[in-house]
Amino acid sequence: MRAKVFEIAAMLNGRVEGDGNIILDTICKIEEGKPNGLSFLSNPIYLPYIYQTQAGAVLVNETMVFDKPVMATLIRVPDAYSAFTRILEIAQDQQHKTGIEQPCFIASDADLGKEVYVGAFAYIGSKAKIGNNVKIYPQVFLGDNVEVGDNTILYSGVKVYSDCKIGCNGIIHASTVIGGDGFGHAPQPDGSYKKIPQIGNVVIEDNVEIGSNCSIDRATIGSTIIRKGVKLDNLIQIAHNAEIGENTVIAAQTGVSGSTKLGKQCKIGGQVGFAGHIAVADGSQIGGQSGVTRSITETNKDWFGLPVMEKREALRISLLLAKLPELFKKVKDQKI
């Protein structure tokens, strides 16, 4: 990105305080500001840096007041964080590649939309349907009958098995696997296990972002479903026939067992484990390292612990547990 301060302000409907003709060509943190760099300030914790930053310009909230002179040029906007996010989106768009690199394999009956980028060593299988402006980075594998909607980005090493469907405006980060077999094995009389064929698929709706090294297993029959607006961190396991509700966010290293359904607008911390065949109500917030072993039917509540319980109760019990050694000593000394 290369633009003058006043041009950036115009993009964001902002107001310039200072030199609007400074040319900016990089984006930087406020504490690591550069004369040709654009930074932002929205969190008060970083307020001291505004007085010493070397950044050429800083995005700030239009209501922000400073008690000392600020040397940097300011771009005042209604919401500095949102404005900076928009700048990052513009910078990212400018980095996107176009065209089809060689060597790669595209089946003769695959259907590619307009302005598609296909990186080297990518594989696109038979009857795959790729929408407009899709970005397929090197070493991506798309199996037969896979569908990818408009404006979706698949980063290097993503694997999408046959028959899976990915919606529009999605982002799937490197080395994630979509549609691997669900973990289904039937015990046999001799103690061995026989693999249960997994003939379903995975359906990922619009505006979903999935981090790197995630695994979303195909359904035994039917579909494993990731609803629109879901955001998944890195290193997450979603098992067969699970369903993640609309606009739910899940932090790293969480595992969702088979046929479990999470509701809309849930917020799941890191390293949470969900047992299979349960349901979690809309708006549930689950604290990190919790174990959810039963269905949650009450909406919009905070939960924590193993086994999971209401957060206030879990914290109260945690405080009491810390006092157990002292209580034990008292009981022992009194020889009760």
CB-CB contact of 151 with 96 (8 Å): no
- At residue 94, the pLDDT reads 66
Q: Per the structure block, which two tokens stand in for 39?
A: 């930074």
In single-letter form, the type of residue at position 235 comes to L
Q: Per the structure block, which two tokens stand in for 279?
A: 């349901």
Written as one string, the DSSP assignment of 162-215 is TT-EE-SS-EE-TT-EEEEPP--EEE-TTS-EEEPP---EEEE-TT-EE-TT-E
Angle CA 264–148–162, to nearest 5: 95
CB-CB contact of 240 with 216 (8 Å): no
Q: State how far the Cα of 177 lies from the Cα of 132, in Å rounded to an integer.
A: 22
- At residue 330, the pLDDT reads 84
In angstroms, how far is CA 120 from the centroid of its own chain?
A: 26
Q: What are the pLDDT digits (tens) for 105-134? A: 999 999 999 999 999 999 999 999 999 999
Task: Please give the C-alpha separations between residue 75 and each of 1, 8, 39, 126, 304, in angstroms, as whole numbers.
Answer: 17, 9, 10, 51, 42
Q: What are the pLDDT digits (tens) for 160-182? A: 999 999 999 999 999 999 999 99
From 114, 202, 195, select the one nearest 166 (Cα to Cα).
202
Q: State how far the Cα of 266 lies from the Cα of 264, in Å rounded to an integer.
A: 6
User: Can you give the pTM of this predicted structure?
Assistant: 0.83
Give the chain's radius of gyration (CA, Å): 25
Annotated catalytic residues are: 240
Number of H helices, E strands in the chain: 4, 40
Residue ranges of domains in the chain, CATH in brackets = 3-95 (3.40.1390.10), 99-315 (2.160.10.10)
Written as one string, the DSSP assignment of 64-80 is ---SS---SEEEEES-H
From 285, 298, 290, select the one nearest 274 (Cα to Cα).
290
Compute mean pLDDT per 10 residues along the chain, 336 residues long, and list them.
Answer: 91 95 94 94 93 96 93 95 91 78 98 97 98 97 98 97 98 98 96 97 98 98 98 98 98 98 98 98 97 97 94 88 86 75
CB-CB contact of 166 with 184 (8 Å): no
Q: State how far the Cα of 315 lies from the Cα of 97, in Å rounded to an integer.
A: 50
CB-CB contact of 244 with 214 (8 Å): no
How many Cβ atoms from other residues are within 10 Å of residue 290's Cβ?
24
Q: State how far the Cα of 212 lies from the Cα of 135, in Å rounded to an integer.
A: 16
CB-CB contact of 1 with 87 (8 Å): yes
Q: State how far the Cα of 306 lies from the Cα of 122, in Å rounded to an integer.
A: 43
